[in-house]
Amino acid sequence: MAEIIGVKFKETGKVYYFDPAGNRVQKDQKVIVETVRGVECGVCATPNSSVPDEQIVKPLKSIVRVASPEDLETLERNKEKEARAYEICRQKIEQYKLDMSLVEVEYTFDGSKILFFYTAPERVDFRELVKSLASVFRVRIELRQIGVRDEARMLGGLGPCGRPFCCSEFLHDFQPVSIKMAKEQGLSLNTIKISGTCGRLMCCLKYEQDSYDYLLKHTPKVGAIVETAEGRGEVVDNNLLTGMLKVKLDRNPDAAPASVHRRDVKLIRDSQIRVNKAELEALGEIE
């Protein structure tokens, strides 16, 4: 068994394990650690606990120290520097007429490097910008292009559901989301209704998909042939959540479809859900 603490560097970021080096660290307490980016200040997400050796990647780095009052003052100064660096970089982007949008600026804890996060529709030649920024700040400069999903996570906001963005609250990794998921979940393939503020398919489509996969295995799809108490017919509509089906009966095709529950029908031949080429061409850009 190994003693570890879990540390996060961003509110919604991943949790990384460190050796507490004999310290008792409380949840939400700040600690100083060394990472591939240099010395950083993180927040304890998981206090001291023991885990099996096979669950960690060795060698496990030790924390440098629990953050002192002086370290917390350094953090506050860095935040002030970040605001100034953001404004200077934004002005220089305009000066060099670069097609990029600055999203966020981060100072490493020791101030040895500044990271500028930006979005851009295509590759940007920012060599002159880097030289200009380096001459102003006299530290190492790094520009990182991020996607629109990462931008939404950093900036935060409210989604179509009225709640804070999932990506800025609890999603640690972005998973591929497809048009087929929206179709399988019975959503209208309308760009406005199935895309988030970032302009891409809503992340909730992915983490709700397992439930819909289960329901689809137990619910006849639209186009399926089923046997009901009133005879054989074709499913013309279904509600995966309630289990209710609308079935057009063969013996009376001009009548209104009969409403039956999935448990009250026998599946003769199921159908398949497919995304056709036209739908993919119309909506593929938001995947």
pLDDT at residue 172 tops 80? no
**pLDDT tens digit string along 19-78?**
999 999 999 999 999 888 788 999 999 999 988 888 777 788 999 999 999 999 999 999
Does pTM top 0.95 for this prediction? Answer: no
Confidence band for 113, pLDDT divided at 50, 70 and 90: very high
CA dist., res. 74 & res. 3, Å (int):
29
What are 199-238's pLDDT values in tens digits? 999 999 998 899 999 999 999 999 999 999 999 999 999 9
Q: What is the spatial distance between Cα 165 and Cα 167, in angstroms, rounded to a whole number?
A: 5
Burial class (CB in 10 A: 0-12, 13-18, 19+), 63: buried
Q: Does 284 have pLDDT greater than 90? A: no
The single-letter code of the amino acid at 36 is V
Its CATH class, for the domain covering 73-146, is alpha beta
How many other CB atoms sit within 10 Å of the CB of residue 211?
A: 12
Domain ranges of the chain: 2-67, 73-146, 170-210, 222-269
CB 196 within 8 A of CB 162: no
pLDDT tens per residue, range 188-199:
888 888 999 999
Q: What are phi and psi of 65, to 5 degrees?
A: -175, 165
What tens digit of pLDDT does each residue of 236-278 get? 999 999 999 999 999 999 999 999 999 999 999 999 998 888 8
Residue 10: which pLDDT band, with cuts at 50, 70 and 90? Answer: confident
What confidence score (pLDDT) does residue 287 get? Answer: 82
Q: Compute the average pLDDT of residues 275-283.
A: 83
End-to-end CA distance of the chain: 43
Contact between residue 82 and residue 75 where contact means Cβ atoms under 8 Å apart: no
- 48, 2 Cβ separation under 8 angstroms: no
Spatial strand order in the sheet of 266-269: 258-261, 244-249, 231-238, 225-228, 266-269
Q: Work out the average pLDDT over 150-165.
A: 89
Q: Which residue has the higher pLDDT, 1 or 127?
A: 127
- pLDDT for position 102: 97
Check: CATH 3.30.870.10 for 222-269?
A: no
